[in-house]
Amino acid sequence: MSDVYAQPTTGTEPAATCELARYTTLRLGGPAGRVVAGTDADEIVRAVREAGERDEPVLVLAGGSNVVIGDAGFPGTVVLVRSRGLQVVDEDAATVTVRVEAGEPWDDLVAATVANGWSGLECLSGIPGSTGATPIQNVGAYGQEVAETITGVRVHDRVDGTVGRIAAADCGFAYRSSIFKYSDRWVVLSVDFRLARSPLSGPVRYAELARALGVEVGDRVPLADARATVLRLRAGKGMVLDAADPDTRSVGSFFTNPVLDRAAYELLRERAADLGEPPSWPCPGDMVKISAAWLIDKAGFGKGHPGPEGTAISGKHTLALTNRGGTASTAALVELAREIRDGVHRRFGVTLHPEPVLVNCTI
């Protein structure tokens, strides 16, 4: 069976069969064979088990902000994750641990942590999606990653049929990845986060955010200031959902930032010598992370670059590929993604890889 787990948007609850475009931020995707909703962990597990008993493929979908679904749709059962809620499960003078249901909207959780004076998620404000999706690709932005605060993930194990907890150390967290991302074994039911009791953010690590806050990298700022500034920066890049803004009809960043070994990095520097130093960040193991947005732009694909059939690069950020409406299709979006990937490789010898989960489509 082929299972994937994707991030959410809000949407009308399902009919028996429907176009999956209504559940994705791209507003693209063909029909589902069958759609059911789970409003708590038991319902989600039951829906997945029953589909397995019918020998149907399963797509676990909490709404669709990090998934690209093919025009042919998905022939099996789509399980919509609609569970909600969070509770404090442990606390002491310095920290609090909250358990959050998989379907809880991510930004609602971040807003609640900021309001309660719990530090650790504030720089992840404005990311569309569900809480249960965040450990799957180790969501990160502006110098924070969820792996830094997750202590464990409660899952349904489809191999042995049990429900249990996987400790953070066993989740295989890496850059935009985990053991869950490309596996059909686990269905995320809830996530535990340990957060600091503090009115201040963690040390600001991201230079762009520090500049916007008027502080130095490493400084701390009030939680509300960090959240407001991140929301403003994301909105300026079309990365906060807005029904009136077609630039937000996307999956956010379509490509991950490439991580190169030292030899590949030096080769890139040679090929980009006429363009100045590529923006980069050191990574463990003498690896170097490169800005995918810079590579795309310098390869000739600027903001607003048109693709086929009503698709285009966002007018606000080169990493976002958008559905401008009209005749747009998943096939057209994938064609645009291939054009960009191949153009970057020709110019710089670097291969870009997609960040979203691809369902019945490929680049």
pLDDT in tens, 5-43: 343 333 334 444 488 999 999 999 999 999 999 999 999
CB-based contacts of 41, cutoff 8 Å, min separation 6: 83, 101, 102, 154, 156, 163, 189, 190
The Cα 218–Cα 241 span in angstroms is 29
CB-based contacts of 319, cutoff 8 Å, min separation 6: 252, 253, 254, 255, 292, 293, 296
**Among 130, 178, 253, 314, the one annotated catalytic:** 253
So what's the pLDDT on residue 244? 81
- Given a contact cutoff of 8 angstroms between Cβ atoms, the answer to whether 344 and 338 are in contact is no
pLDDT in tens, 246-280: 888 999 899 999 999 999 999 999 999 999 999 99
* The one-letter amino acid at 356: P
State the Cα torsion 8-14-20-26 to the nearest 10°: -40
The Cα 190–Cα 109 span in angstroms is 13
Q: At what angle do helices 330-348 and 262-271 cross, to 10 degrees?
A: 90
So what's the pLDDT on residue 8? 35
What burial class does residue 103 get, using C-beta atoms within 10 Å of its C-beta: 0-12 exposed, 13-18 middle, 19+ buried? buried
So what's the pLDDT on residue 245? 85
Residue with tokens 């960009």: 340
The Cα 261–Cα 313 span in angstroms is 28
Q: At what angle do helices 223-236 and 106-115 cross, to 10 degrees?
A: 150
- Given a contact cutoff of 8 angstroms between Cβ atoms, the answer to whether 90 and 96 are in contact is yes
- Given a contact cutoff of 8 angstroms between Cβ atoms, the answer to whether 39 and 80 are in contact is no
Closest CA to 61 of 88, 79, 34, 82: 79
Instruction: Tell me whether strands 74-81 and 32-38 are parallel, antiparallel or unpaired.
Output: parallel
pTM of the complete model? 0.88
The Cα 182–Cα 179 span in angstroms is 7
Helix, strand, coil percent content, the chain, rounded in steps of 5: 30, 25, 45
Closest CA to 142 of 228, 246, 68, 63: 228
What burial class does residue 175 get, using C-beta atoms within 10 Å of its C-beta: 0-12 exposed, 13-18 middle, 19+ buried? middle
So what's the pLDDT on residue 173? 96
Q: Tokens in use for 74?
A: 């998905």
For the question of residue 176 being annotated catalytic, the response is: yes
Taking only the tens of pLDDT, the chain with its 363 residues reads: 233 434 333 333 444 448 899 999 999 999 999 999 999 999 999 999 999 999 999 999 986 888 999 999 999 999 999 999 999 999 999 999 999 999 999 999 999 999 999 999 999 999 998 999 999 999 999 999 999 999 999 999 999 999 999 999 999 999 889 999 888 899 999 999 999 999 999 999 999 999 999 999 999 999 999 999 999 999 998 888 777 888 889 998 999 999 999 999 999 999 999 999 999 999 989 999 999 999 999 999 999 999 999 999 999 999 999 999 888 999 999 999 999 999 999 999 999 999 999 999 999
So what's the pLDDT on residue 16? 42
For the question of residue 2 being annotated catalytic, the response is: no
The Cα 46–Cα 67 span in angstroms is 23
For the question of residue 355 being annotated catalytic, the response is: yes
Sign of the alpha-carbon dihedral angle for 37, 83, 145, 163: negative
Sign of the alpha-carbon dihedral angle for 148, 250, 243, 74: negative
**Among 27, 176, 194, 249, the one annotated catalytic:** 176
Please, how many CA atoms are within 13 Å of residue 200, restricted to the half-sphere of its CB? 8
- Given a contact cutoff of 8 angstroms between Cβ atoms, the answer to whether 93 and 40 are in contact is no
Closest CA to 317 of 297, 333, 336: 297
